[in-house]
Structure formats: C-alpha cells, structure tokens
Amino acid sequence: ADALEASIDAVSKYGGAKAGYRTLLDALIPASAVLRE
C-alpha cells in the first residue's frame, strides 16, 4: 500500500493529475484505500 500511495503522489506531482480528472488516479486512489484497510 505504501508503494501505491507513493506512485499516486508522484503521478500527481509530476503529471498534475488529481482525483476526478478521469485519469489512472481515479482507479489507483480507491485501490489504495482498500489496501490500507
């Protein structure tokens, strides 16, 4: 889960994407939350 969250942060930082932008992050963010549980 830590690696997935790091990748989400990197994609947001370097690509400028955020949740709701219809990008890969819209799939990764919920997946990360499930793995955290």
The answer to whether the Cα torsion of 14, 15, 16, 17 is positive or negative is: negative
What CA–CA distance (Å, rounded) separates 14 from 33? 22
- Six-digit token pair at 5? 């969250």
> What does the pLDDT read at residue 4?
94
Q: What is the pTM of this model?
A: 0.77
DSSP string, 1-37: -HHHHHHHHHHHHHH---TTSSSTHHHHHHHHHHHH-
Q: What backbone phi and psi angles, to 5 degrees, belong to 34?
A: -65, -40
Q: Which domain holds residue 11?
A: 2-36
Domain count of the fold of the chain? 1
Structure confidence by residue, pLDDT tens digits, 1-37: 899 999 999 999 999 999 999 999 999 999 999 999 9
